[in-house]
Structures are given as structure tokens and as C-alpha cells.
Structure 1
Amino acid sequence: MEKALWYLITGTRGGENRARIIRLLQQRPHNANQLAGKFDIGYNTVRHHLDMLEEHDVVEPGGNDYGELYFLTDQFEHHEDEFETIMEHLE
């Protein structure tokens, strides 16, 4: 998970947006449309980032397809300190 977080946040384009998505999901679950509105980025872009985060077990969907909420995974929560370290490194 630690390597995946470094890759997702610092190793690829879009890492800043993925970090922002994670930050919001730390507060409460959101759906893709809500995230797109908060960041003023396209819905398809948000979906791409969510797909990448889901592929690396950082987020997981819950609920039905329409308005599906995204949650941080238990695996991410066990490595949340590493995420915070990455964020400090970027500042």
C-alpha cells in the first residue's frame, strides 16, 4: 500500500487531484458528482481518479450505481500515516 500511495500521489500526473479526493473522503463519503463539483473538474476526470484509487485499494464504492458513494478502505486507513508523510513531503 505504501508504494501504491507514493505512486498515486507523487509518481503520476493527477496526483494532486487524487490527494484532494482522499482528503475529502477522510471527512465523509462522497459520490463522483459531489467530488467533481467541489474541485471544479470534470466528472469523467474524477471517475478516472476514483478508478485508479479503487484499483490500488485506496477507495471502495458503496451503495447502488446511481449516486454511488466512495469510502476509504480499511487497508488505506491502516496506512493513513504514510499518506500524511507523503503530504508533508509535497509541502
Structure 2
Amino acid sequence: MFYYMSNQLLEFKEIIRSKHVSNTRKPDKQTRKLLLYLFTSTRGGFTRLRIIVHLLERPYNTHQLAQTLDLDYKAVQHHMKILEKNNMVSKIGEKYGAIFHLSNFLELNIHTLEEAIDKLDRKMNQKKIYL
């Protein structure tokens, strides 16, 4: 499972690199801390990263994301609330049909996710598996 997740993280990194325009501006310290926290320091970081990668391609509603990611609707709903609260995604519409897309804030700082992916990959490779 860790091998699969590690490969997926590499794919995410390539997708992010292909999506953003070369940006010489470094993110401020608070932005960097927020992104690292949301995507590497919490249990749902990998799932939130998967959501963001899908939203890079096109907007989705919660139901579509749940189906695409093969996750429980309530779990996706939970992650979307966290992402919206932290200004990672923006919502158009209300309730069930609301469509989510990346926020302007995240689009400006998308390159910072590469650092979060590297940290998450290192973290996953350090975990010990006990049988």
C-alpha cells in the first residue's frame, strides 16, 4: 500500500509541476505552514491532496469526487469543509449541487504543494509496518 501511495505522490508532483507557471515568488511563512499542516500533519492529508489534484483538472461536486476517488460521501464532505474553511477551494452554489474548484489563493501557491508532497512521501516511507 505504501508503494502505491508513494508512486501516486510522484504522479501528483508531476501534475502540479505541469499546471503552474514558473513562479519565482516564495510563499510567505504562514502560507507554507498552512499547506504543510493541511496536507502532511493531519490524518486526512493524503486524501485532501488527492482531492486537490482532481480539482486541478476540473470542478467537481462532492458526489462526483466521492465516486471518482472511491470514497464515502460523508468523508469527502468533511474534507471539502476543511479545504473551504482554509481557503484551498471555492464553492459555487449551495447544498448538494455545489461545485468546488481551486481557490485563487491555492492557485497562486500551488507550487508550495511540491514541498508538502515531498514531506508526505518521506513521512510515509519512515513508517514501520508490524505484522
Mapped pair 1:9 → 2:39 = yes
Looking at structure 1, the residues matched to 32 and 73 of structure 2 have their Cα atoms a distance apart, in angstroms, of: 27
Deviation at 1:87, TM superposition (A): 1.6
Aligned partner of 1:25 in structure 2 is 55
Looking at structure 2, the residues matched to 8 and 69 of structure 1 have their Cα atoms a distance apart, in angstroms, of: 21
The letter for the 1-side match of 2:72 is G
Secondary structure (helix, strand or coil) at the match of 1:60 reads: strand
The letter for the 2-side match of 1:5 is L
Q: TM-score, normalised by structure 1?
A: 0.92
Matched-pair contact (CA < 8 Å) for 2:87–2:103: yes
Looking at structure 2, the residues matched to 44 and 66 of structure 1 have their Cα atoms a distance apart, in angstroms, of: 12
Deviation at 1:67, TM superposition (A): 1.4
Deviation at 1:38, TM superposition (A): 1.1
Looking at structure 1, the residues matched to 105 and 86 of structure 2 have their Cα atoms a distance apart, in angstroms, of: 10
Q: TM-score, normalised by structure 2?
A: 0.65
Aligned partner of 1:35 in structure 2 is 65
Identity, % of aligned pairs? 38
Deviation at 1:90, TM superposition (A): 3.0
Mapped pair 1:71 → 2:82 = no
Looking at structure 2, the residues matched to 31 and 86 of structure 1 have their Cα atoms a distance apart, in angstroms, of: 25
RMSD (Å) for aligned C-alpha atoms: 1.2
Structure 1: any 5+ residue segments left out of the alignment?
none
Structure 2: any 5+ residue segments left out of the alignment?
1-30, 122-131
Aligned partner of 1:83 in structure 2 is 113
Name the larger-Rg structure.
Answer: 2
Which consecutive aligned stretches of 4+ in structure 1 deviate over 6 angstroms post-superposition?
Answer: none
Looking at structure 2, the residues matched to 84 and 20 of structure 1 have their Cα atoms a distance apart, in angstroms, of: 13
Looking at structure 1, the residues matched to 103 and 52 of structure 2 have their Cα atoms a distance apart, in angstroms, of: 11
How many aligned positions are there?
91
